[in-house]
Amino acid sequence: MAEDQFDLARLEPILKKYRGQEGALIPVLQEAQNLYGYLPEEVLVHLSRGLKIPLSRIYGVATFYTLFHLSPPGKYQLELCRSISCALCGSERIFRALEKELQIKRGETTADGLFTIQEVECLATCGMGPVMRLQDVIYENLTPAKARKIVEMLRKKG
Amino acid sequence: MKRYLTRNFDHPDAKTIAGYEKTGGYLAARKALQMRREEILGVVKESNLHGRGGAGFPVALKWSFLPANGRPRVLVVNGDEGEPGTFKDRQLMEQDPHQLLEGILIAAYAIQAHKVYIYIRGELGAAARMMENAIEEARRKGYIGPSCFGVDHPPEVIVRRGAGAYICGEETALLESLEGRQGFPRIRPPFPALVGAFGQPTIIHNVETLCALGHILRMGGQAYAALGTEREGGTRIFGVSGHVEKPGLYELPIGFNFGKLIHEVAGGVRRGKKLKAVFPGGSSTPVLLPSELDCPLSIEGVKKAGSAIGSGAVIAMDQTTCMVQVAWRLAGFYQHESCGQCVPCRIGTKRLLEILTRITRGHGQEGDLGLLREMGQVLQDSSRCGLGQTCPNAALSTLSKFRGEYEAHIREKRCPASACEALSPRRGKSRSGRV
């Protein structure tokens, strides 16, 4: 891990912005995660001191919500919906196509750290299933071919 | 049919404040903020507006629970859309953010809220950005800020994003999350109207509910009420997904015929197949059979048919669907999303999933169905919040309506829909694909 990734001074503007605001722990963690890509232990300890919130409570919150990561995830997280409407429209075929294409199972990350296949629940796009979310973009009406194309495009981008 | 809530969906200009105002936007807020608060309450009461998030509580009645003790009040907008099958609020926020903001300004004024929190599901980044832009535009125009339409003490409007927890759509779990904690539902009473966000009296509304307010003020309470049924006014958005020809969002007057929605509006079952069952209001409502769909789409109508209208999320399933597998998939969802606070839900969702996994894999045992029913009942009776209380509905309703299918899985190790791979004659090659 490069040292500058844990440059804790980068947290100061966030702490300053939210200090004294009621119930701001979740937005603080969100912004911290945006900085580092995940929430390393050092960052949680630093935030605990800065916000005067016990580390145990911060850890509880960070592990309760699925969008917080305590270890670095793959660069591209393919979040595929496993929920009922997408399933009725064939999401299992998309899962299998991606597993085959990337040679990993759902929940795993490729050896090069590029891709993670994540099973997620309903993405509120049920009329356009199957759907996949990637960095705030939701891809709709997926087919295995379309999913493979997205992977190809990301591979080229690296 | 005239559309109100979705009228700007094919009108991309309306996403900006200038475009929205060209469609008559903010006239209702302008009008409302000159009215006395009791007058607004009267109009909303006349309109027969019920909440659109799932519980269907009358809006005017909810407001009337606020205590008159002078404590600062909070308005919370529930944009934590996450019930499987529900996809209306995301579109309302992305396609027409000012419609929601106008409704927020009206409600905040009517209930005298000093603060508004818009809580948007973490996964819906685009919706959050649209709302933030809309707020910024409104601020620049002076609609949010010190002299908004000439009103003293206008509210502060804050967007908060969730962080990935379905339970936070439950209103008291949402409040916990707003306060920076795990989303553990609270015990009621006290209800949020008395002790809500940060201990202050709080009114929580679904996105769609607030979007209706502008229309109600514009056309008057009675005209809005006349759109719907005798007890429930207006239009609402039905999200149809699953095995229909034309899945999508359809805004219809309340009381519209359920069967017609599926067979005509949504184009009927796709590829000429036969309808098998329908979730009428999201995955936590009991399934209905095709023969039970000749009912009005209203809280009362769907209740009489034996289910609940919930969030208006209609999930249609055709004859190739294995109902045991549907129940198994949803059990997995609720097991994952149970917050783990109360014992019946923490343990019950796990056991429910285990039983259903067993049955779909061909390891079902005699007695499993009784156990399933008992477990479902315990969850319904003793869970702390709506998640645990409604999560066994899929299993219990499919068990009572498709018992033969469950029995075939257990006794004959056979999946009548040929959908369960472990029970398929050609292992690994199911005919209709897994649910």
Q: Which residues pair with B257 in a beta bridge?
A: B296
Provide the chain B residues 347-376 that lie in CB contact (below 8 A) with chain A.
Answer: none
Residue B427's pLDDT is 52
pLDDT band at A2 (very low <50, low <70, confident <90, very high): very low
B150: enclosing H helix or E strand = none
Helices B393-401 and B368-382, interaxial angle, to 10°? 140
What string of DSSP letters covers B279-319?
ESSSTTSPPB-GGG--SBSSHHHHHHTTS--TTSEEEEEET
Residue B207's pLDDT is 98
Residue A72's pLDDT is 86
What's the CA gap between A52 and A56, in Å, rounded? 12
Establish whether the linkage from the previous residue to B189 is cis, with ω within 30° of 0: yes
Residues 6 or more apart whose CB falls under 8 angstroms from that of B154 comprise: B108, B144, B145, B146, B147, B148
Residue B63's pLDDT is 98
For chain A, what percent of residues have pLDDT higher than 90? Answer: 85
Tens of pLDDT, residue by residue over B28-47, are 999 999 999 999 999 999 99
Is it the case that residue A135 has pLDDT exceeding 90? Answer: no
**Whether A22 contacts B198, CB under 8 Å:** yes
Provide the chain B residues 17-76 that lie in CB contact (below 8 A) with chain A.
Answer: none
Residue A19's pLDDT is 87
Secondary structure (3-state) at B87: coil
What's the CA gap between B412 and B415, in Å, rounded? 9
Q: Which residues pair with B297 in a beta bridge?
A: none
What's the CA gap between B169 and B124, in Å, rounded? 14
B2: enclosing H helix or E strand = none
Helices B125-141 and B88-95, interaxial angle, to 10°? 40
What's the CA gap between A98 and A127, in Å, rounded? 22
β-sheet with A137-139: strand ranges across: A115-120, A76-81, A132-134, A137-139
Q: Which residues of A touch B (CB under 8 A)?
A: 22-27, 29-30, 53, 57, 60-61, 64-68, 79, 82-85, 87-90, 92-93, 120-129, 133, 136, 138
Task: Please give the sequence-ordered ranges of beta strands (E in DSSP) within B165-274, or none if there are none.
Answer: 202-206, 235-242, 248-253
**Whether B45 contacts B216, CB under 8 Å:** no
Residue B152's pLDDT is 75
Backbone angles phi, psi at B357, to 5 degrees: -60, -45
When CB atoms are compared, the residue of A27, A126, A136 closest to B239 is A126
β-sheet with B275-279: strand ranges across: B248-253, B235-242, B313-318, B275-279
Provide the chain B residues 276-305 that lie in CB contact (below 8 A) with chain A.
Answer: 279, 283
When CB atoms are compared, the residue of B121, B179, B326 closest to A84 is B326
Backbone angles phi, psi at B108, to 5 degrees: -60, -40
Residue B434's pLDDT is 56
What's the CA gap between B218 and B240, in Å, rounded? 29
Question: Pairing state of beta strands A115-120 and A76-81?
Answer: parallel
**Whether B403 contacts B409, CB under 8 Å:** no
When CB atoms are compared, the residue of B83, B161, B180 closest to A25 is B180
Residue A6's pLDDT is 79
The number of C-beta contacts closer than 8 angstroms across A and B is 143
Handedness of CA B104, B106, B107, B110 (dihedral sign): positive
Using an 8 Å CB-CB cutoff, list chain A residues near B242: 84-85, 88-89
Which residue is closest to A63 within chain B, CA to CA?
B182
Q: Which of B208, B87, B93 is nearest to A126 (CA)?
A: B87
Q: What is the nearest CA distance from A74 to chain B, expressed in angstroms?
A: 17
A77: enclosing H helix or E strand = strand A76-81
Provide the chain B residues 175-204 that lie in CB contact (below 8 A) with chain A.
Answer: 177-183, 198
Residue A3's pLDDT is 45
pTM reported for the whole predicted model: 0.95
When CB atoms are compared, the residue of A61, A87, A125 closest to B329 is A87
Distances (CA, A) of B339 to B87, B168, B188, B376, B389: 23, 9, 17, 18, 13
Q: Which of A93, A87, A82, A71 is nearest to A119 (CA)?
A: A82
Q: Which segments in chain B show pLDDT lower than 70?
A: 425-435
Handedness of CA A49, A53, A55, A59 (dihedral sign): negative
**Whether A84 contacts B283, CB under 8 Å:** yes
Residue B153's pLDDT is 72
What is the ipTM metric for this complex? 0.92
Backbone angles phi, psi at A24, to 5 degrees: -90, 10
What integer is the mean pLDDT of A106-119? 93
What's the CA gap between B108 and B155, in Å, rounded? 7
What's the CA gap between B318 and B307, in Å, rounded? 19
What integer is the mean pLDDT of A17-25? 90
Residue B425's pLDDT is 67
Residue A1's pLDDT is 46
